[in-house]
Structures are given as structure tokens and as C-alpha cells.
Amino acid sequence: MISSERMAAVDANAAALGVPSKQLMESSGNAVARAVRSASDPGDAVALVCGRGNNGGDAFVAARFLADRDVTVHLLGRPESIGTAIARENWEALHAAEIPSETVADSADFDLGSPAVVVDAVLGTGVSGTLREPARTAVEEINASGGRGGESGGDGAIVIAVDVPSGVDADTGEPTGGDGAVAVDADRVVTFHDAKPGLERLEADVTVADIGIPAAAERYTGPGDLLGLGRSPDSHKGENGEVLVVGGGPYTGAPSLSARAALRAGADLARVACPASVADEIQGYSADLIVRPLPGESLGPDHFDRVAELAADQDVVVIGPGMGNAEASLEFVRRFLADFSGRAVVDADALRVVPEVETDAELICTPHQGELRGMGGETAADPNERAELVRAFAAEVGHTLLVKGRYDVIASDDGETVRQNRTGNPGMTVGGTGDVLAGTVGALAAQTDPRTAQTDPRTTQTDRNAARTDPFQAAAAGAYVNGLAGDAAAEANGHGLVATDLIDRLPDALYDE
Ligand SMILES: NC(=O)C1=CN([C@@H]2O[C@H](COP(=O)(O)OP(=O)(O)OC[C@H]3O[C@@H](n4cnc5c(N)ncnc54)[C@H](O)[C@@H]3O)[C@@H](O)[C@H]2O)[C@@H](O)CC1
Ligand SMILES: [K+]
């Protein structure tokens, strides 16, 4: 089962793996033609009703595979306004092949005739809102032509929908125009790659066609995992997230790297709460950070009130970098997490405390293999076996996990979703790259999800967490871009790369795909 959003991501990942959308469209069109053939006889009239997006494009391809049927392609709108290059190329190929086609400039002129099969390729997953003309009339004509919803009471044409009946939301099965709005009532649906939750709720007979998307496009992170992380062009300071790094004491580099990575990964503000003994040093590394000194030389339970107060207005807290493993510092982390209900990235020595603590917080834990074992998790040499162990352990602890390794493994807090990341290189075993990753994930998890940004004022912490990027997506995207930045750094510096090299390359990795 796959959502439309994930489908778009997998499509982009497939393209990055050398299987571009045009190739997938060829397979989709072929699958639609197979369904048409099984529903008709040679010589039968087949009407393909096509919109100007890729859903229509699938049907342009299908027409080429139906040489022994009496095919007519109806394009809704002008050919010049076909929206994508691959659909346009397939429209042109149709002409070159002399396949009969007509363009429907005015919906009033739309005449389907009385074909044996109608292919509904008006709209696929790209639909939003109430159907506009000429799509609306076309959908009504399709419904009137036959099928269960047809005026002829089922004796008319067989209606085969491409990917999803036009006007239906593939995620919910509801009309995109709202309750009772017009949408195609299909007899059959040929959907691609995987089942869609909304299609299960329809009466139509749904088949899933394998269109050759490699399994790796789902198993591994890719550029598709960055979709939906875009910053809104009209956002103002604070909207792209404020991150508080809590750490330092025995070490000064780690919290500084995390905080600077958070800024490069798009956070508007990065603060560091650290022992006063190292505050000047951490500030000295960078003018971009806001440093909040806490009395003493290492984190301890006395700092709880102050840190809880600082954390209250943050989008994400990154806790652990460079704090060391003194018992008092671990006790501080226990108290902090037990009380916290926001969102936190937990790294380094703070990780071992996680399995002991009952918390309402949403945690993203970023252990390496050794730290995972320290938390009570298991690991394995085989990447797929490791992925399975991490998935099960994430469900057990109830938090998102990002386990670092040659292949990173990311698992959702319910253990339902697991993904691997294979960007990165052996040069990244140098100290500090994990701190960069924690800061990067913190920044991505601090962003407001553009899809929920318009919701009502969010008053509770739970509402605020829900309005942000999904923690699993933030972790998967963070692992992917951290590895890309590391690969760019290795290109420049070979195995001599250092963690600060990654930080400067994060913006390119994130935004210049
Ligand atoms: N892996 C994939 O994602 C693949 C997708 N393919 C096909 O591509 C489809 C998605 O293509 P697109 O993203 O181009 O989108 P669609 O072809 O579904 O729709 C986009 C078009 O619909 C118009 N539109 C949107 N809402 C409308 C409304 N309410 N009334 C009237 N017009 C409206 C848009 O202006 C745009 O022209 C899938 O459903 C599938 O059929 C296949 O080609 C193969 C691979
Ligand atoms: K359709």
C-alpha cells in the first residue's frame, strides 16, 4: 500500500537510479493496453479520454499498443498546453504513428461515440479540488457512457481508469471536490506499482501493474525523500525552525558542529546550552550561534529548570553532543526527557538513557552500532537483516531510530516503516560527522510541514509536533543529505575530509538536487 506522496518520492528515486518517468510511462501505458485488450475484441472501438498531465500521457502510450483495436484518443484541451515533456513527447509519437486523435477545445462539443471500452485518463494523482472544465464534462460523459454508473445500467462501455478514477483521491477514495462531487465511476482500475489506500474503498475491480520501478527506489533514500522539505518563499524568521543544542562540557567541538549544521540545513536560529566553562570557546568558533551558559563544567540535574525553560519555545532540541558520560549528566538527561513533550534528537552519550525513560516527547535517536548496543538494540552484518532488527527495536522503544553505519538504517517509531541510506563514504568515520548529522536532522525536524502549515493556531505541544515535518522523513532526509555532503567533501579532500567540510556542503546537498 502506498500513498500518493510516497509514490511521487519513489518515482523521483527511480529516476535517480536510471529509470526515468518516461520509461515508467511506457510500462504504464502497456499495462493499460493489456487491460483494454482483455476487456474487448479485435476491431472493437476504444475511446481514450486524456487530460494534459502524465495520466493522459499513459493513455497516449496505451494507444500505440492497441493497433488492432479501433482507437480514438480525445485530448481535453490544446496540445500546446500539455503539461509535461514526457506526455507531450508521447502525444507527438501518437501523431507520427497516425493514430486517430481529436482535441476537445470546448466541452460542449465532446462526443464519445459508443465504444466498447472507455479509458479514463483525464486525471490521476495530480488532481486537486473540484473538477474544472473540460475535465468535468468529460467525466460526466464517461459515466454516462456505461459502466455501473452509466445511464445504460451497466450495458454500455466498460470504463477502465488509468491509475485512479479521475476526480478520486487515491489516498482516501473520496471525490477531490468534496462529498458528492463528480468523479469517474470506473468498472476497472489499472493502478501502478502498488495498491493505493483509497482504491480499496471503491467498488471497482483494481489491478496493480508492475511498471518496473526498482525495489531499491523504495528501500533506499534518494532525492525523492527530500520532496516536501522545501522552504516557503514567504516564510519569516523562526518559521523554518529554531533548534537548541544541549551538550558540551568535556568536549566543545561536538555541540558547535551540531548547531552549525542545523543552521546550514536551514534552521533560522541555533542556540547552544552548555556548561559555562566551555561557553566562550563554543561562541568563539562561530558568530552565528547564540550560546546560553549553564553554571559549572558539565551538565547536571541542577540545570534542569533552566534547560526546560529554554527548550519550551524551541521546535527541536538536540541533546547529547559532547556532554560526556558522567552520571550527573546522564541524570540530567533522564530528568529532562521525562518532563519534555516536544521533539528531540538524541545523540551520543544521551542515547543510553532513552530506554529507561518514560516520555511524551517525540524522539529521533541517532546511534552508531555501538551506541545501539548500549541502548539494548541488536545489530547484524547483513544490511537487510540489520534493517529488520532496527525496525523491531524502534517499535520496542517507540521512537524514530537512525542507526548510522555503512548503510544507515532509519525506522519509524511504530516500526512500520524502514529505509536504508547508502550515501556517504569511509572518510566519514572521522570524528564529528555524527554531530553534523544530529544537527542536520534537528533542523529538518524543526521545519513546518508545508501541508499542515495552514492549520489553525496550534496550542498544545502535540499539535505543534504534528505541524512539523514527519520525524521519520526528517531522519531519512538527514541521513541522505549528510552522506551527500560527505561525498562532496570526499571529492575535494579524499579521506582527509573533516566534519566541518560537510557543514559547508549541506546547502548544496539539500537544495541543489
Ligand atoms: N511513478 C509515477 O508517479 C508515475 C506516474 N504516472 C502517471 O502520472 C499520473 C500523475 O501525473 P501528473 O502528476 O502529471 O498529474 P495528472 O495527470 O493526474 O493531472 C495533472 C493535470 O491535471 C490538472 N488538474 C489538476 N486538478 C484539476 C481539477 N480539479 N480539474 C481539472 N484539471 C485539474 C492539472 O492542471 C494538470 O494539467 C499518475 O496518476 C499516473 O497515471 C505514470 O506515467 C507512470 C509513473
Ligand atoms: K484516471
Render pLDDT for 349-369 as a digit per residue (tens, 0 to 9). Answer: 999 999 999 999 999 999 999
Query: In sequence order, which ranges of 196-320 are alpha helices (DSSP H)?
Result: 216-219, 253-264, 276-285, 304-312
Is 10 within a domain?
yes
> What average pLDDT does the chain have?
94
Q: Strands 418-421 and 408-411: what pairing?
A: antiparallel
Distances (CA, A) of 259 to 231, 374, 429, 433, 442: 19, 25, 20, 13, 9
**Residue 190 shares a structural domain with residue 276:** no
The residue whose CA is least distant from atom 21 of ligand 1 is 53
Indicate whether residue 53 lines ligand 1 (CB < 6 A).
yes
Indicate whether residue 159 lines ligand 1 (CB < 6 A).
no
**Residue 215 shares a structural domain with residue 256:** no
Indicate whether residue 129 lines ligand 1 (CB < 6 A).
yes
In this prediction, residue 461 carries a pLDDT of 81
* Cβ-contact 439, 258 below 8 angstroms: yes
Residue list for the binding site for K(+): 55, 120, 166
Indicate whether residue 162 lines ligand 1 (CB < 6 A).
yes
Please name the residue that has the C-alpha cell 534493517. Answer: 387
Average pLDDT over residues 22-31: 98
Q: What number of other Cβ atoms are within 10 A of residue 331's Cβ?
A: 15
Query: Which among 190, 219, 248 is the end of a domain?
Result: 219
Q: Strands 188-192 and 158-162: what pairing?
A: parallel
**Residue 162 shares a structural domain with residue 260:** no
Average pLDDT over residues 22-41: 98
Q: For ligand 1, pick from 10, 55, 190, 191 the residue to mutate: most ligand atoms within 8 Å of CB.
A: 55
Residues 86 and 140: their CA atoms lie apart, in Å, by 27
Q: Is the peptide bond before 134 cis (omega within 30 degrees of 0)?
A: yes
Average pLDDT over residues 458-474: 85
**Residue 296 shares a structural domain with residue 204:** no
Q: For ligand 1, pick from 2, 123, 227 the residue to mutate: most ligand atoms within 8 Å of CB.
A: 123
Asked whether the predicted pLDDT for residue 456 surpasses 70, the reply is no
The residue whose CA is least distant from atom 15 of ligand 1 is 126
The bound ligand whose nearest atom lies closest to the alpha carbon of 184 is: 2
Is 228 within a domain?
no
Q: For ligand 1, pick from 13, 58, 125 the residue to mutate: most ligand atoms within 8 Å of CB.
A: 125
In the chain, the percentage of residues whose pLDDT exceeds 90 is 88
**Residue 61 shares a structural domain with residue 135:** yes
**Residue 287 shares a structural domain with residue 157:** no
Residues in the chain: 513
**Per-residue confidence at 114, pLDDT binned at 50, 70, 90?**
very high
**Environment class of 355 (CB within 10 Å of its CB; exposed 0-12, middle 13-18, buried 19+):** middle
In this prediction, residue 240 carries a pLDDT of 80
In this prediction, residue 150 carries a pLDDT of 45
Residues 428 and 434: their CA atoms lie apart, in Å, by 9
Q: What is the pLDDT of residues 305-354, one digit of tens each?
A: 999 999 998 999 999 999 999 999 999 999 999 999 999 999 999 999 99
Q: How far is the CA of 182 from the centre of ligand 1 (A)?
A: 17
Q: What is the pLDDT of residues 137-186, one digit of tens each?
A: 999 999 999 754 444 455 789 999 999 999 999 999 999 999 989 999 99
Query: Domain range holding 193?
Result: 4-219
**Residue 212 shares a structural domain with residue 319:** no
How many domains in the chain? 2
**Residue 260 shares a structural domain with residue 132:** no
Average pLDDT over residues 25-35: 98
Indicate whether residue 54 lines ligand 1 (CB < 6 A).
yes
Query: Which ligand 1 atom sits nearest the alpha carbon of residue 7?
Result: 3
Q: How far is the CA of 360 from the centre of ligand 2 (A)?
A: 43
Is 98 within a domain?
yes
CATH number for the domain including 212?
3.40.50.10260
**Per-residue confidence at 406, pLDDT binned at 50, 70, 90?**
very high
**Residue 285 shares a structural domain with residue 192:** no
Bridge partners of residue 401, in order along the sequence:
365, 411
**Residue 257 shares a structural domain with residue 179:** no
Query: Which three cell numbers mark 250?
Result: 568535556
Q: Strands 362-365 and 343-346: what pairing?
A: parallel
Indicate whether residue 29 lines ligand 1 (CB < 6 A).
no
Q: How far is the CA of 499 from the centre of ligand 1 (A)?
A: 42
Residue 250 CB partners (closer than 8 Å, separation 6+): 298, 322, 323, 324, 326
In this prediction, residue 228 carries a pLDDT of 80
In this prediction, residue 511 carries a pLDDT of 81
Question: What ipTM is given for this predicted complex?
Answer: 0.98
**Residue 354 shares a structural domain with residue 270:** yes
In this prediction, residue 462 carries a pLDDT of 82
Q: How far is the CA of 84 from the centre of ligand 1 (A)?
A: 9
In this prediction, residue 149 carries a pLDDT of 45
Q: What is the pLDDT of residues 94-103, one digit of tens each?
A: 999 999 999 9
